Amino acid sequence: MSNNNLIKGSLQTIILKLLEENEKMYGYEITQRVKELTAGEIKITEGALYPALHKLEAEGLLTTEIQQVDNRVRKYYSLTKDGQKEVTSKMSELQGFVENLQRILSPDLKPGFNI
């Protein structure tokens, strides 16, 4: 689905942040939301997403809850307390990185930046 080699390292942050905003999402929903938000420019592949979700769950940052919808099983993910802390941490890490990237790539301007 995606040929974007830049996502590396930010997928976890994306997942966590979306779950911070939505409280409860299932995998497929996440892929669709990201597609929507970026007008189809970033597509999270299932091969990347599901292993990432499982890893975050194994780390105790997410919990799951299975729901039956039209005879179809849906697995909802939501943040644990550790997960909530981690969002903040990951977000500021990413913000810091983008700021540094800016310092390297745009030597002229050094304004405040928020993400």
Partner DNA sequence: TTATATATTTACCGATGCTAGGTAATACAG
Partner DNA sequence: CTGTATTACCTAGCATCGGTAAATATATAA
Give the interface with a second copy as residue ranges (CB under 8 A): 4-10, 13-14, 17-18, 21, 34, 37-38, 41-42, 91, 93-94, 96-98, 100-107, 109, 114-115
Nearer to a second copy by Cβ, of 39 and 69: the residue is: 39
Q: How far is the CB of 69 from a second copy (least distance, A)?
A: 25
DSSP per-residue codes, 2-60: ---TT-TTTHHHHHHHHHHHHS-EEHHHHHHHHHHHTTTS----HHHHHHHHHHHHHTT
d(Cα 30, Cα 49) in Å, to the nearest integer? Answer: 9
Going residue by residue from 72 to 91, which x/- string records binding to DNA, judged by CB under 7 A? xxxxx---------------
What is the CB-side half-sphere exposure of residue 27 using CA atoms within 13 A?
Answer: 18
Nearer to DNA by Cβ, of 58 and 109: the residue is: 58
24, 77 Cβ separation under 8 angstroms: yes
The yes or no reply on residue 3 touching DNA (CB under 7 A) is yes
86, 19 Cβ separation under 8 angstroms: no
Nearer to DNA by Cβ, of 21 and 65: the residue is: 65
Of residues 10 through 69, those in contact with DNA by CB under 7 A are: 10-12, 26-29, 32, 44-55, 69
